[in-house]
Copies of this chain bind each other. A is one copy, B any other.
Amino acid sequence: MGEIMKAKIDDVAKLAGVSKTTVSRVMNKRGYLSEKTIKKVHDAMDELNYQPNVVARQLFKQETKLVGLIFPTVNNPFFGQLVATMEKKLFSKGFKVLLGDSMNDPEKEKLYLRELMAHQVDGLIVGAHNQGIKEYQNANLPIIAIDRIMNNDIPVVSSDNYQGGKMATELLIKNGAKVIIHTNGPKTLQTPAQKRRQAYEDTMIQYGLKPITYTVDFNVSYEQKAKFLKNIFKDHPDVDGMFISNDVDAAQVIDIAGDLGYKVPDDLKIVGYDGAETTRILLPNLTTIIQPIDRMAEIAVNMLVARISNNDAGENKVLPVKVWRGKTV
Protein backbone atom coordinates (compact mmCIF):
# COMPACT_ATOMS: atom_id res chain seq x y z
CA MET A 1 0.00 0.00 0.00
CA GLY A 2 2.97 2.29 0.57
CA GLU A 3 3.92 4.72 -2.12
CA ILE A 4 6.22 3.09 -4.58
CA MET A 5 8.98 5.58 -5.01
CA LYS A 6 10.00 6.13 -8.57
CA ALA A 7 13.47 4.87 -9.33
CA LYS A 8 16.15 7.51 -9.70
CA ILE A 9 19.43 7.50 -11.47
CA ASP A 10 21.23 6.57 -8.24
CA ASP A 11 19.07 3.48 -7.82
CA VAL A 12 19.92 2.37 -11.31
CA ALA A 13 23.61 2.98 -10.70
CA LYS A 14 23.55 0.98 -7.50
CA LEU A 15 21.68 -1.96 -9.04
CA ALA A 16 23.90 -2.02 -12.10
CA GLY A 17 26.97 -1.72 -9.94
CA VAL A 18 28.24 1.33 -11.77
CA SER A 19 28.43 5.02 -11.03
CA LYS A 20 25.75 7.64 -11.57
CA THR A 21 27.97 9.22 -14.18
CA THR A 22 28.15 6.00 -16.16
CA VAL A 23 24.39 5.66 -16.16
CA SER A 24 24.12 9.18 -17.45
CA ARG A 25 26.71 8.38 -20.08
CA VAL A 26 24.73 5.37 -21.21
CA MET A 27 21.57 7.42 -21.45
CA ASN A 28 23.25 10.17 -23.39
CA LYS A 29 25.66 8.00 -25.35
CA ARG A 30 28.67 10.02 -24.36
CA GLY A 31 32.26 8.94 -23.81
CA TYR A 32 33.66 5.42 -23.93
CA LEU A 33 31.34 2.59 -22.99
CA SER A 34 31.68 -1.16 -23.26
CA GLU A 35 28.84 -3.32 -24.49
CA LYS A 36 28.88 -5.10 -21.17
CA THR A 37 28.31 -1.96 -19.17
CA ILE A 38 25.62 -0.72 -21.49
CA LYS A 39 23.78 -3.99 -21.05
CA LYS A 40 24.15 -3.96 -17.27
CA VAL A 41 22.71 -0.47 -17.12
CA HIS A 42 19.84 -1.23 -19.45
CA ASP A 43 18.99 -4.34 -17.49
CA ALA A 44 18.92 -2.36 -14.28
CA MET A 45 16.75 0.30 -15.88
CA ASP A 46 14.32 -2.34 -17.10
CA GLU A 47 14.21 -4.07 -13.76
CA LEU A 48 13.43 -0.83 -11.94
CA ASN A 49 11.14 0.38 -14.70
CA TYR A 50 13.28 3.49 -14.69
CA GLN A 51 12.21 6.63 -16.48
CA PRO A 52 14.59 9.54 -16.24
CA ASN A 53 12.97 12.62 -14.79
CA VAL A 54 12.76 14.86 -17.79
CA VAL A 55 12.22 17.91 -15.60
CA ALA A 56 15.65 17.63 -14.04
CA ARG A 57 17.21 17.27 -17.45
CA GLN A 58 15.22 20.24 -18.75
CA LEU A 59 16.51 22.42 -15.97
CA PHE A 60 20.11 21.64 -16.66
CA LYS A 61 19.99 21.50 -20.43
CA GLN A 62 17.90 24.61 -20.73
CA GLU A 63 15.71 22.95 -23.29
CA THR A 64 12.43 21.18 -22.79
CA LYS A 65 11.63 19.59 -26.13
CA LEU A 66 8.21 21.13 -25.72
CA VAL A 67 6.44 23.19 -28.35
CA GLY A 68 3.41 25.31 -27.56
CA LEU A 69 0.53 25.46 -30.02
CA ILE A 70 -1.79 28.40 -29.59
CA PHE A 71 -4.92 28.09 -31.74
CA PRO A 72 -8.53 29.17 -31.36
CA THR A 73 -9.87 25.67 -30.71
CA VAL A 74 -9.28 22.14 -31.90
CA ASN A 75 -13.05 21.78 -32.00
CA ASN A 76 -13.12 22.92 -35.59
CA PRO A 77 -12.21 20.78 -38.56
CA PHE A 78 -9.60 23.16 -39.90
CA PHE A 79 -7.70 23.70 -36.67
CA GLY A 80 -8.29 20.14 -35.57
CA GLN A 81 -6.58 18.80 -38.64
CA LEU A 82 -3.85 21.40 -38.45
CA VAL A 83 -3.07 20.62 -34.81
CA ALA A 84 -3.29 16.87 -35.31
CA THR A 85 -0.85 17.01 -38.20
CA MET A 86 1.58 19.30 -36.41
CA GLU A 87 1.46 17.15 -33.31
CA LYS A 88 2.29 14.05 -35.30
CA LYS A 89 5.15 15.71 -37.08
CA LEU A 90 6.53 17.26 -33.91
CA PHE A 91 6.38 13.95 -32.10
CA SER A 92 8.41 12.33 -34.85
CA LYS A 93 11.03 15.02 -34.31
CA GLY A 94 11.17 14.44 -30.58
CA PHE A 95 8.94 17.27 -29.44
CA LYS A 96 5.87 17.12 -27.26
CA VAL A 97 2.99 19.51 -27.64
CA LEU A 98 1.59 21.86 -25.05
CA LEU A 99 -1.85 22.80 -26.30
CA GLY A 100 -3.44 26.17 -25.79
CA ASP A 101 -6.93 26.85 -27.10
CA SER A 102 -7.28 30.59 -26.96
CA MET A 103 -10.95 30.66 -27.98
CA ASN A 104 -10.21 33.92 -29.76
CA ASP A 105 -9.96 35.65 -26.43
CA PRO A 106 -7.00 38.06 -26.49
CA GLU A 107 -6.66 37.91 -22.71
CA LYS A 108 -6.53 34.17 -22.74
CA GLU A 109 -4.07 34.19 -25.56
CA LYS A 110 -1.81 36.57 -23.70
CA LEU A 111 -2.04 34.40 -20.60
CA TYR A 112 -1.20 31.32 -22.63
CA LEU A 113 1.76 32.96 -24.21
CA ARG A 114 3.09 33.95 -20.81
CA GLU A 115 2.48 30.62 -19.21
CA LEU A 116 3.84 28.58 -22.08
CA MET A 117 6.94 30.71 -21.94
CA ALA A 118 7.15 30.12 -18.20
CA HIS A 119 6.99 26.43 -19.00
CA GLN A 120 10.12 27.03 -21.06
CA VAL A 121 8.76 25.76 -24.35
CA ASP A 122 11.45 25.60 -27.00
CA GLY A 123 9.18 27.20 -29.57
CA LEU A 124 5.69 28.25 -30.45
CA ILE A 125 3.38 27.86 -33.41
CA VAL A 126 0.56 30.35 -33.32
CA GLY A 127 -2.61 30.46 -35.34
CA ALA A 128 -4.94 32.33 -33.06
CA HIS A 129 -6.89 35.20 -34.44
CA ASN A 130 -6.03 38.04 -32.18
CA GLN A 131 -4.01 41.02 -32.91
CA GLY A 132 -1.82 43.39 -31.09
CA ILE A 133 -0.38 41.21 -28.41
CA LYS A 134 2.86 42.96 -27.86
CA GLU A 135 4.27 40.14 -25.77
CA TYR A 136 5.10 38.30 -28.96
CA GLN A 137 7.60 41.00 -29.79
CA ASN A 138 9.90 40.56 -26.85
CA ALA A 139 9.22 36.86 -26.60
CA ASN A 140 12.78 36.14 -27.66
CA LEU A 141 11.64 32.67 -28.65
CA PRO A 142 11.33 30.86 -31.96
CA ILE A 143 7.81 31.46 -33.22
CA ILE A 144 6.05 30.55 -36.44
CA ALA A 145 2.64 31.91 -37.36
CA ILE A 146 0.07 30.08 -39.43
CA ASP A 147 -2.31 32.20 -41.45
CA ARG A 148 -1.67 35.18 -39.31
CA ILE A 149 0.44 38.28 -39.53
CA MET A 150 2.21 39.04 -36.31
CA ASN A 151 5.32 41.08 -36.92
CA ASN A 152 8.28 41.10 -39.20
CA ASP A 153 10.42 38.80 -37.14
CA ILE A 154 7.87 36.03 -37.25
CA PRO A 155 7.63 33.93 -40.40
CA VAL A 156 4.12 33.21 -41.65
CA VAL A 157 2.91 30.04 -43.29
CA SER A 158 -0.31 30.44 -45.21
CA SER A 159 -2.05 29.35 -48.33
CA ASP A 160 -2.65 31.58 -51.30
CA ASN A 161 -5.67 33.40 -50.00
CA TYR A 162 -5.83 35.87 -52.84
CA GLN A 163 -5.80 33.10 -55.39
CA GLY A 164 -8.40 31.18 -53.39
CA GLY A 165 -10.69 34.17 -53.17
CA LYS A 166 -10.35 34.76 -56.85
CA MET A 167 -11.05 31.13 -57.74
CA ALA A 168 -14.15 31.06 -55.56
CA THR A 169 -15.52 34.28 -56.98
CA GLU A 170 -14.85 33.37 -60.58
CA LEU A 171 -16.43 29.97 -60.08
CA LEU A 172 -19.63 31.66 -59.00
CA ILE A 173 -19.56 34.23 -61.75
CA LYS A 174 -18.81 31.72 -64.51
CA ASN A 175 -21.74 29.64 -63.36
CA GLY A 176 -24.06 32.53 -63.85
CA ALA A 177 -24.36 34.11 -60.43
CA LYS A 178 -24.82 37.85 -60.45
CA VAL A 179 -25.70 38.88 -56.90
CA ILE A 180 -22.80 37.39 -55.02
CA ILE A 181 -22.29 37.96 -51.33
CA HIS A 182 -19.11 37.31 -49.41
CA THR A 183 -18.64 36.76 -45.70
CA ASN A 184 -15.34 37.19 -43.92
CA GLY A 185 -13.90 37.71 -40.45
CA PRO A 186 -13.45 41.14 -38.88
CA LYS A 187 -11.30 43.44 -40.97
CA THR A 188 -9.46 44.55 -37.87
CA LEU A 189 -7.80 41.15 -37.59
CA GLN A 190 -5.24 41.68 -40.24
CA THR A 191 -4.89 38.03 -41.15
CA PRO A 192 -3.90 36.71 -44.55
CA ALA A 193 -7.50 35.50 -44.82
CA GLN A 194 -8.43 39.11 -45.47
CA LYS A 195 -6.86 38.70 -48.88
CA ARG A 196 -9.83 36.57 -49.80
CA ARG A 197 -12.00 39.60 -49.30
CA GLN A 198 -9.69 41.68 -51.43
CA ALA A 199 -9.66 39.09 -54.18
CA TYR A 200 -13.43 38.80 -54.07
CA GLU A 201 -13.91 42.54 -54.32
CA ASP A 202 -11.31 42.92 -57.07
CA THR A 203 -12.81 40.10 -59.08
CA MET A 204 -16.36 41.35 -58.73
CA ILE A 205 -15.37 44.78 -59.94
CA GLN A 206 -13.38 43.31 -62.75
CA TYR A 207 -16.51 41.53 -63.96
CA GLY A 208 -18.61 44.62 -63.50
CA LEU A 209 -20.47 43.29 -60.45
CA LYS A 210 -21.04 44.93 -57.13
CA PRO A 211 -19.20 43.41 -54.16
CA ILE A 212 -21.23 42.95 -51.01
CA THR A 213 -19.19 41.83 -48.02
CA TYR A 214 -20.51 40.91 -44.60
CA THR A 215 -18.29 40.68 -41.56
CA VAL A 216 -18.99 37.68 -39.38
CA ASP A 217 -17.70 37.36 -35.86
CA PHE A 218 -15.88 34.09 -35.41
CA ASN A 219 -16.67 33.86 -31.79
CA VAL A 220 -20.45 33.92 -31.44
CA SER A 221 -22.90 31.17 -30.63
CA TYR A 222 -24.59 29.04 -33.22
CA GLU A 223 -27.89 30.83 -32.65
CA GLN A 224 -26.43 34.33 -32.90
CA LYS A 225 -24.71 33.38 -36.09
CA ALA A 226 -27.92 31.93 -37.49
CA LYS A 227 -29.71 35.18 -36.80
CA PHE A 228 -26.95 37.15 -38.47
CA LEU A 229 -26.91 34.91 -41.53
CA LYS A 230 -30.69 35.05 -41.91
CA ASN A 231 -30.45 38.80 -42.04
CA ILE A 232 -28.23 38.58 -45.07
CA PHE A 233 -31.11 36.95 -46.94
CA LYS A 234 -33.49 39.55 -45.64
CA ASP A 235 -31.20 42.32 -46.95
CA HIS A 236 -30.64 40.61 -50.29
CA PRO A 237 -33.44 38.24 -51.19
CA ASP A 238 -32.19 38.22 -54.77
CA VAL A 239 -28.84 36.72 -53.83
CA ASP A 240 -27.82 33.93 -56.19
CA GLY A 241 -24.22 33.31 -55.14
CA MET A 242 -22.34 33.22 -51.87
CA PHE A 243 -18.70 32.93 -51.07
CA ILE A 244 -18.50 32.00 -47.39
CA SER A 245 -15.10 32.24 -45.79
CA ASN A 246 -15.18 28.92 -43.97
CA ASP A 247 -16.91 25.62 -44.47
CA VAL A 248 -18.65 25.43 -41.12
CA ASP A 249 -20.38 28.74 -41.77
CA ALA A 250 -21.13 27.59 -45.30
CA ALA A 251 -22.90 24.52 -43.92
CA GLN A 252 -25.01 26.75 -41.74
CA VAL A 253 -25.82 28.98 -44.69
CA ILE A 254 -26.91 26.00 -46.77
CA ASP A 255 -29.20 24.93 -43.98
CA ILE A 256 -30.73 28.36 -43.57
CA ALA A 257 -31.10 28.86 -47.31
CA GLY A 258 -32.93 25.55 -47.52
CA ASP A 259 -35.32 26.63 -44.77
CA LEU A 260 -35.96 29.86 -46.64
CA GLY A 261 -36.86 27.96 -49.77
CA TYR A 262 -33.76 28.49 -51.87
CA LYS A 263 -32.70 25.52 -53.98
CA VAL A 264 -28.96 24.97 -53.97
CA PRO A 265 -27.39 25.15 -56.51
CA ASP A 266 -30.25 26.07 -58.82
CA ASP A 267 -31.39 29.28 -57.13
CA LEU A 268 -28.30 29.86 -55.10
CA LYS A 269 -24.69 28.79 -55.56
CA ILE A 270 -22.42 28.49 -52.56
CA VAL A 271 -18.65 28.19 -52.21
CA GLY A 272 -17.00 27.55 -48.87
CA TYR A 273 -13.41 27.72 -47.75
CA ASP A 274 -10.88 25.46 -46.00
CA GLY A 275 -11.68 21.96 -47.21
CA ALA A 276 -10.59 20.05 -44.14
CA GLU A 277 -10.77 16.26 -44.42
CA THR A 278 -13.59 15.89 -41.98
CA THR A 279 -15.64 18.55 -43.69
CA ARG A 280 -15.20 16.86 -47.01
CA ILE A 281 -16.40 13.57 -45.59
CA LEU A 282 -19.34 15.05 -43.74
CA LEU A 283 -20.34 17.42 -46.48
CA PRO A 284 -18.89 16.16 -49.76
CA ASN A 285 -21.38 18.17 -51.76
CA LEU A 286 -20.06 21.49 -50.58
CA THR A 287 -18.04 23.22 -53.27
CA THR A 288 -15.08 24.75 -51.52
CA ILE A 289 -11.53 25.96 -51.75
CA ILE A 290 -9.13 23.46 -50.29
CA GLN A 291 -6.21 24.72 -48.28
CA PRO A 292 -3.28 22.30 -48.12
CA ILE A 293 -3.67 21.92 -44.38
CA ASP A 294 -1.26 19.04 -43.93
CA ARG A 295 1.43 20.75 -45.96
CA MET A 296 0.97 23.95 -44.02
CA ALA A 297 1.36 22.02 -40.79
CA GLU A 298 4.45 20.22 -41.97
CA ILE A 299 6.11 23.33 -43.25
CA ALA A 300 5.37 25.23 -40.07
CA VAL A 301 6.90 22.43 -38.02
CA ASN A 302 9.96 22.21 -40.23
CA MET A 303 10.48 25.95 -40.05
CA LEU A 304 10.10 25.96 -36.30
CA VAL A 305 12.48 23.08 -35.77
CA ALA A 306 15.00 24.78 -38.05
CA ARG A 307 14.65 27.97 -36.04
CA ILE A 308 15.14 26.08 -32.82
CA SER A 309 18.24 24.21 -33.87
CA ASN A 310 20.07 26.86 -35.85
CA ASN A 311 19.16 30.48 -36.12
CA ASP A 312 18.18 30.37 -39.73
CA ALA A 313 15.38 32.83 -40.22
CA GLY A 314 13.14 31.19 -42.81
CA GLU A 315 10.96 33.00 -45.28
CA ASN A 316 7.22 33.38 -45.36
CA LYS A 317 5.63 30.53 -47.26
CA VAL A 318 2.52 30.76 -49.40
CA LEU A 319 1.05 27.49 -50.65
CA PRO A 320 -1.32 26.95 -53.56
CA VAL A 321 -4.99 26.11 -53.02
CA LYS A 322 -7.38 24.17 -55.20
CA VAL A 323 -11.08 23.87 -55.88
CA TRP A 324 -13.21 21.02 -54.58
CA ARG A 325 -15.98 20.53 -57.06
CA GLY A 326 -18.95 19.68 -54.92
CA LYS A 327 -22.54 20.16 -55.95
CA THR A 328 -23.34 23.55 -54.47
CA VAL A 329 -22.29 25.48 -57.58
Q: Does A88 contact B (CB under 8 A)?
A: yes
Residues on B with C-beta less than 8 A from A279 are: 282
Q: Does A202 contact B (CB under 8 A)?
A: no
**How many monomers of this protein are in the complex?**
2
CA distance A118 to B51 in the complex (A): 6
Interchain CB contact under 8 A, B88 and A80: no
Q: Does A157 contact B (CB under 8 A)?
A: no
- A80-102 interface bits toward B, Cβ cutoff 8 Å, 1 = contact, 0 = none: 11011101100100001111110
Interchain CB contact under 8 A, B74 and A80: yes
CA distance A155 to B159 in the complex (A): 44
Q: From residue A146, how far is it (CB to closest CB) to chain B in Å? A: 15
Count chain B CB atoms within 10 A of each CB in A4, A83, A281 and give the residue with the most: A281
Interchain CB contact under 8 A, A55 and B51: no
Interchain CB contact under 8 A, A74 and B83: yes
Q: How many residues of A contact B (CB 8 A)?
A: 59
Q: Quick check: which of A16-24, A168-176, A248-256 contacts chain B, the rest being far away?
A: A248-256
Residues on B with C-beta less than 8 A from A117 are: 51
Q: Quick check: which of A34-42, A56-64, A192-200, A302-310 contacts chain B, the rest being far away?
A: A56-64
Interface residues of A in 96-129 (CB under 8 A from B): 96-101, 103, 108, 114-120
User: What are some 18 contacts across the A-B interface (CB < 8 A)?
Assistant: A51-B114, A51-B117, A51-B118, A53-B120, A74-B87, A75-B81, A75-B84, A77-B80, A87-B101, A91-B100, A96-B100, A97-B98, A97-B99, A97-B100, A98-B99, A282-B282, A282-B283, A283-B283
